[in-house]
Amino acid sequence: MILSLLLSTFLTVFIAELGDKTQLATLTISGTSNKPLAVFLGSSSALVFASLLGALAGGSISNVVPEVVLKTIASGTFFIIGIRLFINSFKADNSIDADNSIDNE
């Protein structure tokens, strides 16, 4: 029972972390450093600590707030972040287009 929970948690977090900002930051730092082991230890311990905080907070909060409310808050938060990223992607395209038109003059 605990092994299946461990495996499903590992796979979920592993897949969620592929290609995200944390991985890109680690890649960038590692590329500018001659100490990849130190970068690995720093980034992995940061991820472990953040996960610990999430697990502890999630366990405590779930005793007070119903699961459906937590899921609603989480999905609403991700929806807002997604919409903001979507809108900002158009703003970034517009600023790139404006920069290119200035350079072409």
Q: What is the pLDDT of residue 100?
A: 56
Its domain, for residue 96, covers 66-105
User: For residue 60, which of 74, 70, 50, 72 has the smallest C-alpha distance?
Assistant: 70
**How many domains does the chain fold into?**
2
Decide if pLDDT at 27 tops 90: no
One domain for residues 37 and 50? yes
Are 48 and 22 in contact by the 8 Å Cβ rule? The answer is no
One domain for residues 97 and 81? yes
Q: Which range (2-11, 18-27, 67-76, 96-105) has the least confidence?
A: 96-105
Are 68 and 74 in contact by the 8 Å Cβ rule? The answer is no
Q: What is the pLDDT of residues 51-87, one digit of tens each?
A: 899 888 877 888 888 889 988 998 999 899 889 988 8
| Integer CA distances (angstroms), 2 to 5, 7, 27, in order | 5, 9, 32
One domain for residues 53 and 87? no
One domain for residues 76 and 51? no
| Integer CA distances (angstroms), 78 to 7, 34, 55, 102, in order | 24, 36, 18, 36
One domain for residues 49 and 30? yes
Distance CA 78, CA 11 (A): 20
In the chain, % of residues over pLDDT 90: 25
